[in-house]
Amino acid sequence: MDMKSAIVGLINQAIGAAFPGADAPVTDAMLEVPPDAALGDYAFPCFRLSKQLRMAPPKIAQALAERIDAPDIATVTCVGGYLNFFFNRRNFAEHTLDAIAAQPDRWGSSQEGAGRTVCLDYSSVNIAKRFHIGHLPSTVIGNSLKRIYDFLGYTTVGINHLGDWGTQFGKMIAAYKHWGDEDMIASGSVQALQDLYVRFHREAEDDPTLEEEGRAWFRRIEEGDAEAMRIFEAFKDMTLKDVERVYDILDVRFDHYTGESFYNDKMDRVVNELRDKGLLTESEGAWVVDLEPYGMPPCLILKRDGATLYATRDIAAALYRKETYDFSRSLYVVAYQQDLHFRQVFKVIELMGYPWAKDLVHVAFGMVSYEGQAFSTRAGNVLYLDDLLARAQEKALDIIREKSPDLEDKNTVARQVGVGALVFSALYNSRIKDVDFWWDRALNFDGETGPYVQYTHARCCSVLRKADEISATPDHEALTDDEAQALLRMLSRFPEAVRDAAARYEPSAVTRAVTEIAKAYNKYYYEHRILDGDNGQTAARVLLTRVVRDVIRTGLGLIGIHAPERM
């Protein structure tokens, strides 16, 4: 039992003793962390019990405090209507260190998700287009959530819902037939595909017949024409090989690449089911689901020409995923601009009579910019992700050459630091906030950055290498000072941060927790000489350093960042 649960147990015992028959069980979630450590390690607001017990909170607090006597766990004081708990510092240090040391790579993990599946739809690149910085938030948020849910015992299914359907691919083939060749496909250059697409639109301004050619080639794709499919599949292979390079650098993996085209043979079911259930309404030749009673515009299912739309395909995808994976939750990590789209889709699925519509979640995120500049593909103002990652590695390498010229394997560390800086900057703040990436901030070794946390991990590793021969029994009394206790509190609460991240679909909860641990350790490091003192004291401080290293490594891993041992 952890200290928080032990305190909850003391409160419930006191309630039973002070107010026999009271049905007011206290849970972990009811405890609060005081804004100032001088007010205690945890506080319980007795206001929660006032209505049921018909008593003023200060009187409840006093009655409970008189019945709590467990100095080996914590002492308790009353402040107004609050019970404030102060840990037994020595026992808290011993308990926390033992608990983490017992599962050094799994502190914060659980099996709460055992037997349940979470589907995660993230990244969702477009065929025949290069991977740009706008895809970064979806990719790293989805990747982190997948790791967090795995850590909590869930079965996860990572899905890259490819943008691989639409008239634009007919236009791409038309452009290829006019100005491309087999050598271009053999080169694997996705940039060459993008250049063809741009040229198509430029030429089509003077030659409108090109538009009809594009539509004709897309019809051939729809009909499964051999030549059209050969070229189309080549474009897909080129794109996937290109993005796989980026995914490898980011250490991102998917279980399935099932894009829009995968659902071509699943459209009729959606349309027929909507029609059979009386949900389809004709509107100016198109077919829609009326959502006006729910404060939304109609959800367009079929265009006038009978073509399906994104909504139709997303409904088909949701049905397929539920029937295939029987998910307990299905997450869509997509920018906030698509909020209306997902509210419409989820409402249509609910109206179809599927109770699991409540388990569909749009995990929205804000916009990303680079040093104050917004991006626009149409305006040609795009920063491609592989270029950004290469620049990150170069800049990190320059810093490492300056700060650590004798470091071995500089390129590997530079890649881990540069990529880590980029990922960290995308995951530090609440996901709904816009991200503006600046090199001087992201690669700063001081402050709340990826390199700062990675450097703290490397610092711990350095201390542990120097302390390799210490084998005395730890004297936990050496960890009763304010700095050690502040650090231990951060470590003990890390599992709560992991659970919070999963509950709110918010990786920043882990990012901030691991940053606070790094800050607390560095303060401790500067205030205390870890390898001085008698053997028992040194052993305790070294053990504290070891668990800090382990938890930082775990936290960085959960957000998709490597933890170098030397920097």
190 and 73 in a common domain: no
- Reduce the secondary structure of 217-286 to three states and give it as a string: HHHHHHCCCHHHHHHHHHHHHHHHHHHHHHHHHHCCCCCECCCHHHHHHHHHHHHHHHHHCCCEEEECCE
The answer to whether residue 311 sits within a structural domain is no
Conformation bin of residue 238: beta by default, left when phi > 0, alpha when psi is -120 to 50: alpha
Domain boundary among 87, 103, 136: 87
Q: In this prediction, what percent of the chain has a pLDDT beyond 70?
A: 98
527 and 440 in a common domain: yes
The answer to whether residue 127 sits within a structural domain is no
Whether the pLDDT of residue 171 is over 50: the answer is yes
- Residue 194 is predicted with a pLDDT of 84
- The per-residue pLDDT for range 399-455, each reduced to its tens digit, is 999 989 999 999 999 999 999 999 999 999 999 988 887 777 777 778 899 999 999
Average pLDDT estimate for 532-559: 95
- Residue 330 is predicted with a pLDDT of 98
**375 in Cβ contact with 134 (< 8 Å):** yes
- The per-residue pLDDT for range 42-55, each reduced to its tens digit, is 999 999 899 888 89
Q: What does the alpha-carbon distance between residue 132 and residue 111 come to, in Å, rounded to a whole number?
A: 36
- The per-residue pLDDT for range 265-303, each reduced to its tens digit, is 999 999 999 999 999 999 988 999 999 999 999 999 998
Domain boundary among 253, 272, 298: 253
User: Which stretches within 326-448 are classed as H helix?
Assistant: 339-351, 385-403, 410-427, 439-442
Q: Give CA separation, 208 vs 10, 179, 205, 443, in Å.
A: 79, 17, 6, 49
What mean pLDDT, rounded, does the chain reach? 92
- Residue 376 is predicted with a pLDDT of 54
- The per-residue pLDDT for range 252-268, each reduced to its tens digit, is 999 999 889 899 899 99
The answer to whether residue 74 sits within a structural domain is yes
415 and 537 in a common domain: yes
Hunting for tokens 């697409």 — which residue is that? Answer: 197
Whether the pLDDT of residue 184 is over 90: the answer is no
Q: In this prediction, what percent of the chain has a pLDDT beyond 90?
A: 71
The DSSP output letter for 474 is P
Number of Cβ within 10 Å of residue 268's Cβ equals 11
- Residue 380 is predicted with a pLDDT of 52
181 and 58 in a common domain: no
The answer to whether residue 565 sits within a structural domain is no
180 and 63 in a common domain: no
- The pLDDT-based confidence of 386 (bands split at 50, 70, 90) is confident
189 and 83 in a common domain: no
The answer to whether residue 49 sits within a structural domain is yes
548 and 423 in a common domain: yes
Whether the pLDDT of residue 1 is over 60: the answer is no
- Residue 24 is predicted with a pLDDT of 66
- Residue 151 is predicted with a pLDDT of 98
**pTM for this prediction:** 0.92
540 and 411 in a common domain: yes
**364 in Cβ contact with 336 (< 8 Å):** yes
- The per-residue pLDDT for range 201-243, each reduced to its tens digit, is 888 888 889 999 999 999 899 888 999 999 999 999 989 988 9
What residues make up the domain containing 469?
A: 387-558
- Residue 106 is predicted with a pLDDT of 96
**361 in Cβ contact with 330 (< 8 Å):** yes
Number of Cβ within 10 Å of residue 27's Cβ equals 10
Q: What does the alpha-carbon distance between residue 95 and residue 530 come to, in Å, rounded to a whole number?
A: 20
76 and 183 in a common domain: no
- Residue 188 is predicted with a pLDDT of 66
Regarding beta strands 155-159 and 117-121, do their DSSP bridges make them parallel or antiparallel, or are they unpaired?
Answer: parallel
The answer to whether residue 469 sits within a structural domain is yes
- The per-residue pLDDT for range 443-493, each reduced to its tens digit, is 777 889 999 999 999 999 999 999 977 778 999 999 999 999 999 999 999
- Point out the least confidently predicted range of 16-25, 99-108, 509-518: 16-25
Domain boundary among 220, 253, 286: 253
Q: What does the alpha-carbon distance between residue 411 and residue 400 come to, in Å, rounded to a whole number?
A: 9
Read off the tokens for 40. Answer: 């205690």
175 and 68 in a common domain: no
Q: What does the alpha-carbon distance between residue 96 and residue 7 come to, in Å, rounded to a whole number?
A: 15
The answer to whether residue 95 sits within a structural domain is no
- How many structural domains are present in the chain? 3
The answer to whether residue 318 sits within a structural domain is no
Element (H, E) at 508: helix 508-527
179 and 76 in a common domain: no
CATH at 17 = 3.30.1360.70
- Residue 378 is predicted with a pLDDT of 47
Read off the tokens for 182. Answer: 């087999």
CA neighbours within 13 Å on the CB side: how many for 78? 16
CATH at 506 = 1.10.730.10
459 and 549 in a common domain: yes
